[in-house]
Amino acid sequence: MFSHKSFPLINHISRRFVQNLPKNIRLELDPDVNKQTESNDRKLAFFKQHKGKFHCKTELPKKLEESINTILSDIEPQRLNIDKKTLQDHLVERRLPLERRELQSIAQNVIENLIKTEPPINTLAMSPDQREQMNLLRQRELVKRLKSSIYHWQPLAFDEYKSKVYLAANFAAHYAMLVQIFNEIKRRERDFQPVRLLDFGSGTGSVMWAALHTWGKRTFAELLNIDKSREMNNLSQLILQGGEQNKVPLVPNVIYRQFMPHGRENTFDLVVADHTLFELENRFDRLKTIRSLWYNVKPNGFLILVEQGTIHGYSAINEARENLLYRIATSGESKEKSTDVNIEEPTTIETDDSSSSEKHSSPAHIFSPCPHELICPKKHLNIPCRISTRYRPLQIFDLKRNLPHYTTADMSYIVVRKAERDSNDVYVKWPRVIEPIVDRKHHQHVRLCCPNGQYINVPISKNKHGVGLHRLSHHAEPGDLFPATGEVIQESPIVEKEMPTVSEPRKRQRRAYRT
């Protein structure tokens, strides 16, 4: 097992590189996976698929793609492609809005730099008009520098045409990301059957369609989509009707709202916020929204947050992760305190409201992608932790293409479950692949996020680690769990040999040669 005692923690501030796996740690493949890779049966020996393989290829269902093409048929294809590319570039470069303290510090630095670079001027020798003119020039230069150094954040505003462009640009990628996340939940938790789904910031409804693809239509009794844009809600409802108005929806029990529901805590099995945190104005609103979403999760349910796989999307996810970990830690402390009070003063608990304490102090743990609940090791490295997924783009006006072209999309996400972690779960002991595999001539470099909270690089070769690990590492992809554990090898102590006593050098006798 990758434990804290295996090797010392990495000082990320002093060393800005990935630490290799120490030599005193031996990797051992999972026994079930080892049997599968070494089996003579070709079906069992298919090492590209195993219990920890979650990276997948995704295609849109044919009926869903046809309904989207029906909606987009009234737009000129050339114009749609140009606007789609412009929107995608804007979303990739998007950042979180700056806080007030950050704005004040940036403005102060700009003013100080402006004063330093300004040449010395004798203002006493100037006339009042010249002083006024100089102050105007200073103000213009200050405004120019502030505009160039401060990110101007604006929320996305959609009308009917812009919502269709957003549908064409992002629906297939968001659908593929969520299908990969939902498939991992379904495979790891086979007894979990969601009944109610809450999608905050639903947009075009990609979360709903991914959930229906994973668990089926008959599973859900309620699908609640919340989006402040009325045009987005109308477009999502039009997709449900097959692209034609006044038609019976393809899926029942779908509800659309513009605001969060009140008084429905501990109700939903799945609560999802897909590419929504960037639409909130400041950190306070983001954390407040995350808190309300967490309270809507039912016990044994899941909270899923997804953002772009950029450094700014990762920072938004990491901010939410740290806040949720703080809530999990405080709920555990409050639970321990309540048990202590229960032992000492049993009469005081009867007057408390037990329902409110159960709502706000439920046990929880991080389900994926992190195999630990410590500080993210990539935070100090300033590297985004992102998982890739492969999908086929939306085939606009071309549904009969025989050779589909797959592309890759990156996402930063977190899945938190409102339940205690199962210590007997095999998946908890495995690290996760979080970087693309680096192939070399006779080995591969696999970069793992381990259960002890460390980010390490493991060079795997056939001679050193065996055929099974070598095959798995060759076909591993970001997002997969690596079915191996590490054990510390006790190195044999080095016995120092006794050095022989050094004697005085023997004098060399001169040899007599015959003449």
Cα torsion 356, 361, 363, 367: sign: positive
Alpha-carbon distances, residue 103 vs 98, 279, 311, 376 (angstroms): 7, 19, 20, 27
- How confident is the prediction for the chain on average, in pLDDT? 81
> Among 68-77, 175-184, 330-339, where is mean pLDDT lowest?
330-339
Between 494 and 266, whose confidence is greater? 266
Q: Is the pLDDT of residue 353 over 50?
A: no
Q: List, for residues 171-222, the tens digit of each pLDDT value.
A: 999 999 999 999 999 999 999 999 999 999 999 999 999 999 999 988 899 9
What's the confidence (pLDDT) of residue 46?
55
What's the confidence (pLDDT) of residue 505?
59
CB contact at 8 A, 185 and 300: no
Average pLDDT of the segment spanning 371-390:
90
CA dihedral 358, 360, 365, 367 (to 10 degrees): 100
CB contact at 8 A, 93 and 153: no
Instruction: Decide: residue 437, CB within 10 A, 0-12 exposed, 13-18 middle, 19+ buried.
Output: middle
Which of 22-36, 320-334, 375-389 has the highest average model confidence (pLDDT)? 375-389
pLDDT band at 491 (very low <50, low <70, confident <90, very high): low
pLDDT band at 230 (very low <50, low <70, confident <90, very high): very high
pLDDT band at 28 (very low <50, low <70, confident <90, very high): confident
Alpha-carbon distances, residue 17 vs 51, 320, 338, 417, 436 (angstroms): 30, 26, 44, 32, 16
What is the per-residue DSSP string for 257-326?
Answer: ESS--SS-TT-EEEEEEES-GGGSSSHHHHHHHHHHHHHTEEEEEEEEEEEESSHHHHHHHHHHHHHHHH
What's the confidence (pLDDT) of residue 341?
39
> Among 40-49, 79-88, 155-164, where is mean pLDDT lowest?
40-49
Q: List, for residues 239-292, the tens digit of each pLDDT value.
A: 999 888 888 888 888 999 998 887 767 789 999 999 999 999 999 999 999 999
pLDDT band at 8 (very low <50, low <70, confident <90, very high): very low
What is the distance, to the nearest Å, from the Cα of residue 377 to the centroid of all Cα atoms in its chain? 13
- This prediction's pTM: 0.83
Place of tokens 């099974």: 468
Delimiting residues of CATH 3.40.50.150 domain(s) in the chain: 62-77+166-332+361-418
What is the distance, to the nearest Å, from the Cα of residue 336 to the centroid of all Cα atoms in its chain? 31
Pairing of strands 443-449, 438-439: antiparallel
Average pLDDT of the segment spanning 9-21:
51
What single-letter amino acid sits at 354? S
Q: List, for residues 404-440, the tens digit of each pLDDT value.
A: 688 999 999 999 999 988 878 888 889 999 988 888 8
Q: Which residues of 229-243 are buried (b: 16+ CB within 10 A; e: fewer)?
A: bebbbebbebbbbbb
> Among 97-101, 125-129, 167-171, 273-277, where is mean pLDDT lowest?
125-129
Name which of 96, 152, 439, 117 is nearest 281 in CA terms. Answer: 96
Alpha-carbon distances, residue 193 vs 187, 224, 269, 304, 419 (angstroms): 12, 17, 8, 16, 15
| Cis upstream peptide for 249 (omega within 30°) | no
The superfamily in CATH containing domain 62-77+166-332+361-418 is Vaccinia Virus protein VP39 (3.40.50.150)
